[in-house]
Structure 1
Amino acid sequence: MPMRNAFKIAKTDFRNIGTNWVAAVLIGGLIFLPSLYAWFNIFASWDPYGRTDRLPVAVVNEDRGADVRDEHIDVGRQLVDSLKENHSIDWKFTGRDDAMDRVEKGEYFAAIVVPDDFSEKLATVVTGEPQKAEMEYYVNEKINSIAPKITEKGATSVVETLSSEFTATVNNVIFDMFNQIGLEIEKDLPDIEKFEQYVFTAEKELPGMHDLLESANKDAENADAMISKAQAAMPEANRLTSEGLGTINRTLGYLDSAEKQLAAIAPQIDKDLATASRVSKEINDMLTKIQNAELDTTQLDDAKKRMDDRMTRAITSVGNIQDQLKNLKELAAAAPDPVSPGNTPVPDLPVKPEDGDATAPPIAPDVDLPDIKPDVTLPERRNLIDQAIESTGNLQALLQEAQMNARAVDEAATGYAEQAKGWISDTQKITQNVSVSIDSYSKEYHDTIKPTVDREIAGAKKTLAEAKNMLTEIQNTLPEAEKVLNSTAGDLAKGETVIQDVLNQYPYVYSKVTELADRIRQLQGETDINDIVDLLLNNPSTEKDFFEQPIVLHENKMFPIKNYGTGMTPFYTVLSLWVGCLLLISLLSTEVHQEELFHPRTVYFGRLLTFSVIGLLQTIIVTTGDLLILGVKAAEPLGFILSALFISLVFMSIVYTLVSVFGDVGKAMAIVLLVLQIAGSGGTYPVVLLPDFFRALSPFLPFTYAIDLMREMTGGAVQSNVVRDVAVLLGVAIVFILIGTFFKARLTNSMNKLLKKSRETGLFH
């Protein structure tokens, strides 16, 4: 019976609306108003981040660039060039003063300023103390609460892009260097392996080296004694060199005298040879005439006398030649052999030490001593002179024999004419031989003896001059050698000190080499150098791309939402349904005329049906408009509508019950509940981001579950979530209907008294 009366009340309400056009218009407006509220908000927030290109942000570039290893970089200019191609925000390129003025006035939402030292600080990455580059960001936050977040995101994106590109570039250089190092190591791998072997060899050979150092230390002491001995011998070397120069000078004097005397006697020898030759020919001619003529004693005597005189002159001439040659021999004998052994002593000078001879004192590195070559031509020259004297003696003997035969002819001429002719014939033969010998000797003298003697004297003088130059150079070298000896003595003392220091450091060096060898063996056991080379070898371009974006985010949208407006549709749709309920209870009465005819509980259910039907109409218009007019792409369109209808019934049970039971106080309660739900239901921001009060309140708010249910239908339904949301909302509706059922009759009189009292003020209807 009570429910029949409730349906009767609802039927009467709709008949009255249908027969009263004013009521129909008002109800129609109430049905459409919630949809407008939802549609306008959804459309306004449809795709706000897709229109950020209308958001003006100033860009000020003051970067003056920088030089890095002879290359000019200008990151600020590169930024401006890249932003000119970036249309995500309405970038305004201007100066600092203009940008600051427009940001202050609100014409620009924000400004990004690249300072003048931006590139310069980035370039410090190649130095030992890199500095971070800074960009200035100015934002006017009073213009809008969302715009600063968008502009900040844009500025952050610029910084991240620059940082990413810079990091990639730097890493490209670094990995290029690593690649070069890897190539070098790979190239030098045999040398590295050799180095390892050297270390092991050094470890093995160090004890032997220690013994060698000790031996070198002893050798240095011996060398020190030898240098002292050489220093003591320097005065004797100076004396011997001076004596050798004196001997050479005297020998050169003898040779000059011999050369002059030979030059002086040469014309006389030529003259005497010519005389002897001429006399020999005259004697031969005369003997020919005597032999052919009749022997006349008087003529024979004259001829004999002339022949004997001429023969005497010839013998004298040959004797003079022989005497001159003997004088030359005496000069040659008196001149000592300047380079023969034992004649001119050469001082013992410091010699260049042989390799490995640690005891021999070094000589001056820039002094080259000439080599001494012994003269072998002087004895030959003396032999030639002896041969010439012998030849001259033979010639003189022939002449004397001829003279003796001529005198024998003179003695036997008387009474032995015929026999004298035989003797004359023999004498003629002798003279002929003498003439031939004189001519041969003259030719030999001019062609052999004299040129040889001249050449050998000149050679001896040249040799002596070279020896003199050599000894002079030695004499000039002796002070340098003495200086070198003194320097060597000092260096040797330092060397002894160094060797001693090395010996003292030997235990430390040996321990370090052993430690290094052990470490190499350990590394060989732990790491393969080929693995290190493989790690260093890389493709710099590939590495640059990797560090430009080392992590790639592959986004997988489990429940894709097309745009921001679609994402906000559940919130604004649920909100419009609650607002629709508030509009209804604000304009329509929860009571009926002739209230005394119906039980309060019947009135409660009767008007609940009326409000619920109007609320369902509001919901149908809102949801179909979302899908058809705005184009919201819901994953479950039918579920979207049905869920909204269910939520409308739940909201209507809440709002209607509050106003029906509590009157105007209930209206206030419904509004307060709306405010709390807008802030704490997570409709705009995730609940976890809300303050603790709203986080604690959220599980008790119908909006929380209503919005979540609509999101399930919009993005994609998860059955467990849908069941939970429906169960909670259904439970809330049942609770409020029970409140209305049990408290409507009990609180009606009290609420009517309060209402009557409030109307007395004239402020409430």
Structure 2
Amino acid sequence: MKNIFKIFIRDLKSIVKNWVALIIIVGLMILPSLYAWFNIRASWDPYGNTGGIKVAIVNKDRGGNLQDKFISVGDELVNKLKDNTNLGWEFVSEEEGNTGVERGIYYATIIIPEDFTEETLSIMNRPIKRPILIYKVNEKSNAIAPKITDKGITTIKSQVDTNIIETVDGLIFKVLNEMGVSIEGSKDKILKLMNGIIELNNKVPEIENIINEIYKGSSKAEDLISKAKENLPLLQDTLTSSDNLLVDTKNSLEKSKEALGEVAPVIKSDLELINTELSNLEELINAVININIDKNSIINGLDNISVKVANINDKINGIIKALEPLSKFNDNLKEIVNELNLASSKLNSAIDVINQVNDAINNSKPIDKSKLKEIKELIAANREIILSILNNYDSKYIPAINNAINKLTEISDNSIKLLDEAKTAIPDIDSLLDTLDNALKLGKDDIEKLNNEMPNIKASLGELSSKLSSINKEEDIDKLLSLLKNDWEAVSKFLGSPVEIKEQVLFPIPNYGSAMSPFYSTLALWVGALILVSLLTTDPHGFKEKIDFKSYEKYFGKLLTFGFIGICQCIILTLGDIYLLKCYILNKWLFVGISLLSSIIFIIIVYTLVSIFGNVGKAISVILLVIQVAGAGGTFPVEVMPSFFKKVNPLLPFTYAISAMRESVAGVVKANLTRDITMLLSYGIIFILIGLFLKGPINKISKKFIEKLNESGLIGH
């Protein structure tokens, strides 16, 4: 032990007494920090400054008409992009856009063709065409910029899709809404007409009796005929008006049927999303139940679960609102609405239980694990309901939605058919009344002829009355109105953007530079270790008396020197990250501590390799650096890398050093931090054992090899 400290103290004295050596050592302490600081600062907020990335917009769209309304989707898109600062939009001519992207003035050019609006509105006509945006990108100009402009074109497409759906479907549902209002205004007339025909049929026996009485010389029919002819023009007008309204309604329903059909896949997508979120909630509540954590962590966990439960409940209520108008036409749809109402009720119960647990914790009462299990059971039961609906959705509920829409159309068709028959029968009724009126003036012979014709008239009127009586008149009309009079703006917006994303960020980091500080700091510490072994010797020199140091004394003695300088490098680096660059670091002392541990481990690894293998060890250290920069997941997620890097990632010291620093920067997950520190310590122990037991034997074996290599004059001593 004495000789180990003798080597270390001798090195410190040499540094202090030799001003050239002191300057070099101070430079070695500062140099790694500069490497990290410049890289962190350069990447401080690249995605917050994308407004400088120029993208040309060329609008050639000539617009189009929908329901006598002029629409230009291209102009609407340009107006929205003028308020969008995500990229540097430049609105130019086609020639300027093409030339600019070719010369690198613009990173990309987006051309809106002349027929963009016409193809957008083809959904109302046949054949349907998909509108096209022309996207030209210059990938030679920069490696990252095209990826950012790709995101820009995706954003534009999303905006266009939403605008198309809201505009076109909005007009369809608005027409239906206005039609529903019109029908509602004539509802009393339609019912009066239908009731009038049925009542007239009911009076046929009375009319027959009257004719018989007339035949016998009675005059009782005069008043009835007069009243009937008086009301006939009103019935004729009402019938014509109602017929036109129902024809218009049927045409509008046919146009909107395809748009209504889009509700089914949207609802299924929402149910699948709800199922996934419920599965995630089960994992969260299991974590709260099974892991012994402090009360604050339990409160935070339950608050997070409560927010997610409320969001899921909102989605379920949105689906209920979309299905309720159609459920009046189909029992299967009533069933799914009832199931969703049950699911919503269970979610409300889960929120109530969460509030009870939080209140108990806030009042310093012990945590009731049975309540936590009750929450879990409610969420599990809710998921079973959603899974049951999803399992039957394609086979049972999609046909139910289509059947409801078809039934609505069928009601309209039947009503039109019946009214057409009624309109056809009106002249016969009018002729009958005229005949009856004239019959009063006829002799008994003519009345006898009329009496003979009554069976045919009676049969025709009876058949029409029977068909009108077969439908539940007021109920069916009300069902038709309930769909047509929907909130057309709300339905249009629902189809345009059925799912609203509510982002919840865990462990937020305000800027990209702070997020990258763990990677660049780790990289700088390894580079610092490499610089040390490149400029400083790993063997003890400069002693006046000859000392026969043992191999382990040489190893640990010089390791103290390298470790001391490495610690100084780390302190300068971390303090600069915190106070010079002002990186966002949630736990500053932990950040410094993890950096010190990482620096010491890296020094041990690199020093051990060079101490044992000499210049070959330096090469190995450089190779490790290259592999770790690519494979440690410091920049891109390891999941997107080739299979080789996925396999080596768990074996690299960088992986755990970067992960541990991220815990200190954004927030600690104890399991992750414990794993990272354990792995770093394991690397240190392994390499110390390697140096302790292999330095002497390998140095003896490689002595002649190194001497021969030095004879070449190409390798430094």
Q: When the two structures are superposed, what TM-score results if normalisation uses the length of structure 2? A: 0.60
Q: Which amino acid aligns with 1:720?
A: A
CA distance in 1, matches of 2:524, 2:87: 33
Q: CA deviation at 1:662?
A: 1.6
Q: 1:71 to 1:184 in 2, by over 3 A?
A: closer
Is the contact between residue 663 and residue 751 of structure 1 (CA under 8 Å) also seen in structure 2? no
1:327-350 Cα distance to aligned partner (Å, 9 max, x none): xxxxxxxxxxxxxxxxxxxxxxxx
- Range moving further from structure 2, 734-743 or 537-546: 537-546
Aligned counterpart in structure 2 of residue 680 of structure 1, from 610, 631, 647? 631
Of the three residues 74, 95, 100, the one matched with 2:93 is 95
- Map 1:261-410 → 2, pairs under 5 A: 355-356=431-432
Shift of residue 529, structure 1, vs aligned partner = 6.4
| CA distance in 1: counterparts of 2:574 and 2:701, whole angstroms | 39
Please give the alpha-carbon distance, in whole angstroms, between the structure 2 residues aligned to 1:356 and 1:101: 83
Matched, 1:703 2:654: yes
Which residue is 1:752 aligned to? 703
Q: For the Cα contact (< 8 Å) 2:598–2:680, is it kept in 1?
A: yes
Amino acid at match of 1:566: S
Shift of 1:77: 2.9
| 201 and 610 in structure 1: CA distance in 2 versus 1, 3 angstrom threshold | farther
From the superposition, tell whether residues 753 and 182 of structure 1 become closer, same or farther in structure 2 (CA, over 3 Å): farther
The letter of the residue matching 1:142 is: K
Kept after mapping to 2: 8 A contact 1:199/1:517 = no
Q: Cα RMSD between the aligned structures?
A: 3.7
Alpha carbons of structure 1 residues 752 and 126: separation in structure 2 relative to 1, 3 Å: same
C-alpha change, 1:607 and 1:539, in structure 2 (3 Å) is same
Deviation at 1:551, TM superposition (A): 2.7
Give the 3 Å change call, closer, same or farther, for CA 4–96 of structure 1 in structure 2.
Answer: same
Looking at structure 2, the residues matched to 543 and 623 of structure 1 have their Cα atoms a distance apart, in angstroms, of: 55
Q: For the residues of structure 2 that align with 1:699 and 1:198, how far apart are their CA atoms?
A: 85
Q: Tell me the equivalent position of 1:4.
A: 2
* Corresponding residue of 1:663: 614
2:676 to 720, 725, 746: 725
Shift of 1:41: 0.7
TM-score (norm 1): 0.56
Structure whose alpha-carbon radius of gyration is higher: 1
1:614 alignment partner in structure 2: 565
Q: Give the CA deviation at 1:128.
A: 3.5
Counterpart of 2:538 in 1: which secondary structure? coil
Alignment of 1:22-171 (within 5 A): 22-171=20-169
2:583 aligned to 622, 625, 632, which one?
A: 632
SS in 2 for 1:40: helix
1:604 maps to amino acid: Y
Unaligned runs of 5+ in 1: 209-352, 363-370, 372-498
Q: Are residues 747 and 529 of structure 1, via their aligned partners in 2, closer, same or farther at CA, if it must alter by over 3 Å?
A: farther
Q: 3-state DSSP class of the match of 1:104?
A: helix
State the match for 2:177 in structure 1: 179
Output aligned runs, 1:158-557, within 5 Å.
Answer: 158-187=156-185, 355-356=431-432, 530=478, 533-557=481-505
Q: CA deviation digits over 1:193-235, x for unaligned, max 9?
A: 7899899999x99xx9xxxxxxxxxxxxxxxxxxxxxxxxxxx
Please tell me whether residue 581 in structure 1 is matched to residue 579 in structure 2: no
**Alpha-carbon separation, structure 2, partners of 1:56 and 1:81:** 17
- CA deviation digits over 1:696-753, x for unaligned, max 9? 2111111111111000000011111111111111111111111111111110112322
Distance, in Å, in 1 between the alignment partners of 2:196 and 2:3 is 112
Separation (CA, whole Å) in 1 of partners of 2:193 and 2:432: 26
* CA contact 1:616–1:648 (8 Å) conserved in 2: yes
Once residues 548 and 533 of structure 1 are traced to their aligned partners in structure 2, the CA distance between those partners, rounded to angstroms, is 23
- Residue identity matched to 1:57: V
Q: CA separation in 2, counterparts of 1:196 and 1:662?
A: 104
Structure 1 residues 67 and 603 mapped into 2: Cα distance closer, same or farther (>3 Å)? same
Q: For residue 410 of structure 2, what is the aligned residue in structure 1?
A: none
Distance across 2 between alignment mates of 1:122 and 1:64: 12
Q: Is the 8 A contact 1:59 1:91 kept in 2?
A: yes
CA contact (8 A) 1:53 1:89 kept: yes
Deviation at 1:117, TM superposition (A): 1.1
The 1-side partners of 2:584 and 2:612 are apart by 40
Q: After alignment, is 171-180 or 600-609 more displaced?
A: 171-180
Distance 1:183 1:664, change over 3 A: same
CA contact (8 A) 2:121 2:168 kept: no
Shifted more, 144-153 versus 686-695: the winner is: 686-695
Residue 720 to residue 356, structure 1, CA distance change in 2 (3 Å): same
**Separation in 2, partners of 1:728, 1:741:** 20
Q: Is the 8 A contact 2:184 2:481 kept in 1?
A: yes
1:739 corresponds in structure 2 to: 690
User: Aligned equivalents of 1:101 and 1:354: distance in 2?
Assistant: 79
Q: Contact 1:581–1:651 at 8 Å: present in 2 too?
A: yes
Matched residues in 2 for 1:707 and 1:130: separation? Answer: 53
Distance 1:198 1:707, change over 3 A: farther
* Structure 2 unpaired stretches of 5+: 206-428, 442-455
How far apart in 1 are the matches of 2:599 and 2:469? 85
Residue 564 (structure 1) aligns with: 512
Distance 1:99 1:548 in 2: 31
In the alignment, is the contact (CA less than 8 A) between 1:61 and 1:115 conserved in 2? Answer: yes
For residue 587 of structure 1, report the CA deviation from its aligned partner.
1.1
Deviations 1:649-706 (A, max 9, x none): 1111111111111222211111111111111111111122222221121111111111
Deviation, structure 1 residue 14: 1.1
Matches of 1:65 and 1:621, distance apart in 2: 63
Tell me: CA distance 1:193–1:599, structure 2 relative to 1, closer, same or farther (3 Å).
farther
Offset at 1:25? 1.1
One-letter amino acid matched to 2:28: L
Pair 1:582–1:753, CA change in 2 (3 A): same
Q: Deviations over 1:559-617 (max 9, x none)?
A: 11011111111111111111111111111111122796211111111111111111111
Change beyond 3 A, Cα 1:122–1:6:
same
Counterpart amino acid of 1:36?
L
Taking a change above 3 Å as real, the CA distance of residues 200 and 34 of structure 1, as seen in their structure-2 partners, is: farther
- 2: CA distance, partners of 1:660 / 1:199: 110
Q: How many residues align?
A: 473
- The alpha carbon displacement at 1:140 in A equals 0.8
SS of the counterpart of 1:67?
strand
Describe the SS at the equivalent of 1:72: strand
**Residue 761 of structure 1: CA displacement?**
2.3
| Corresponding residue for residue 643 of structure 2 | 692
Report the Cα offset of residue 27 of structure 1: 1.0
547 and 574 in structure 1: CA distance in 2 versus 1, 3 angstrom threshold: same
The alpha-carbon distance between structure 1 residues 131 and 201, as it changes in their structure 2 partners (threshold 3 A), is: farther
Identity among equivalent positions (%) equals: 42
Alpha-carbon distance in 2 for matches of 1:199, 1:548? 45
Query: Given the alignment of the two structures, is residue 654 of structure 1 paired with residue 605 of structure 2, yes or no?
Result: yes
Cα distance, 1:358 vs. partner?
13
Q: 1:736 to 1:199 in 2, by over 3 A?
A: farther
